Amino acid sequence: MPLRITFQPHTLRFRTEAGTSRGVLTEKTSWIIRVVDLEQPGIEGLGECGPLKGLSIDDLPDYESQLVSVCNLFNQLDLDVFPFNLGIILDQVVPVHLPSIRFGIEMALLDMMNGGQRIYFNNAFSKGDAGILMNGLIWMGTYDHMMKQIEQKLDQGYTTLKLKIGAIDFEQECKMLGAVRAQYSKKEITLRVDANGAFANDEAMAKLSRLAEYDLHSIEQPIRAGQPDCMAELCEISPVPVALDEELIGISDYRFKFALLKKIKPQYVILKPTLLGGFRHTKEWIEIANRLNIPWWITSALESNIGLTAIAQFTASFGNRLPQGLGTGQLYDNNFPSPLETKSGYLFNNKSVDWDLSQLT
């Protein structure tokens, strides 16, 4: 089974501007990986390499050149892939400092091994028999714009909302949270917020105390990543449960993963396979979190429907009952039409809908 790998870039365009504390997003480029078996024409495995600008450790000026080097090495080795050697191939071919490339190639090889049908993990979700509970994502913007998004998500049946905060005026953000709580109790609507590390260390506790008034489920990454002592202190005393997100990026050694979570003792961890180096590394974080009794959930990292499909199928393998962050498939006006669909706050794989990959050449 001599495998060959190629790729092509695809720039995804946001339907509307997506605001975070790190800036406003209007487009995002992913590189679509294609793996074929020269002895089995017509079977093609697809993956997606999609680093996030300003966040991924492999957000590099020469990213495409590094991807070319990885693909050339892969093709020179004349590889066969099986479940038992998938991890070995990834370790030999993709450096650990290129997590999104590792994710994309792992995806494509999983798809290839399952017949090239976009079945990365075979479970009730991939078969179309079960949905995944999700949170509705509210992007930063003006007060009126964010309130409009909240109303739309509630109308769509979401019972958990995740609000990006930290970029507009803090008092406006509190006013918005207060407006939701005035109408819906925490038993009716679960509220999560994501600061993306926007709080200064000396103001974090005061802001967390204020946010606690709104019965929040959790806050993601209140302060900048890379400050384990400060983060451990916040997790111990914060009146709002803290979830780690950016804090996990760039850590590939199992021992360091375990040491980080044991030291900080967060109330939750949030896992993005694209940023963490793929499914095997994400599984390690899950295993460690379970050992330390730390609940977790998985979110996408603005992948197209190709990457999102694989992440959703992976997520469904664990039966995690917490709302997941997988509602990003409709952000773009030039996404790849797929069987993914959202309904009443759940993500489904509608087997009656076909993929449309005509944008791939």
The amino acid present at 278, given as its one-letter code, is G
Average pLDDT, the chain: 93
Tokens describing residue 21: 């504390």
Specify the pLDDT at position 330.
83
Q: Could you tell me the pLDDT band of residue 5, with boundaries at 50, 70 and 90?
A: very high
- All structural domains of the chain with their residue ranges: 3-113, 132-349
Q: Is the pLDDT of residue 21 over 60?
A: no
Each residue of 121-136: pLDDT tens digit? 999 999 999 999 999 9
Q: Give the residue ranges of DSSP H helices in the chain.
A: 63-76, 86-93, 99-113, 143-155, 170-183, 204-211, 228-237, 254-264, 273-276, 279-291, 305-316
Nearest Cα to Cα of residue 208 among 247, 254, 165: 165
Residue with tokens 């309130």: 147
Tokens describing residue 293: 């009794």
Residues 6+ positions from 34 with CB-CB distance below 8 Å? 5, 6, 7, 8, 44, 45, 46, 108, 360
Q: Could you tell me the pLDDT band of residue 226, with boundaries at 50, 70 and 90?
A: very high
Superfamily (CATH) of domain 3-113: Enolase-like, N-terminal domain (3.30.390.10)
Phi, psi of 308 (to 5 degrees): -65, -35
Active site residue 164: yes
Tally of CA atoms within 13 A in the half-sphere of 116 that contains its CB: 12
CA-CA distance, 340 to 97, in Å (whole number)?
Answer: 31
Active site residue 272: yes
Instruction: Report the pLDDT averaged over residues 203-222.
Output: 96
CATH number 3.40.50.720 given to 132-349: no
- Which one from 272, 283, 343, 351 is the annotated catalytic residue? 272
- Which one from 28, 153, 162, 164 is the annotated catalytic residue? 164
Q: How far, in Å, are 132, 156, 167 from residue 311 at the CA level?
A: 11, 22, 28
Instruction: Report the pLDDT averaged over residues 224-252.
Output: 96
Rg (CA), the chain: 20
Q: What is the largest CA-CA distance in the chain?
A: 63
Q: Give the residue ranges of DSSP H helices in 293-342.
A: 305-316
Q: Which one has a higher pLDDT value, 265 or 27? A: 265
CA-CA distance, 41 to 198, in Å (whole number)?
Answer: 50
The amino acid present at 63, given as its one-letter code, is Y
Q: Could you tell me the pLDDT band of residue 20, with boundaries at 50, 70 and 90?
A: low
Specify the pLDDT at position 80.
87
Specify the pLDDT at position 361.
81
Q: Is the pLDDT of residue 328 over 80?
A: no
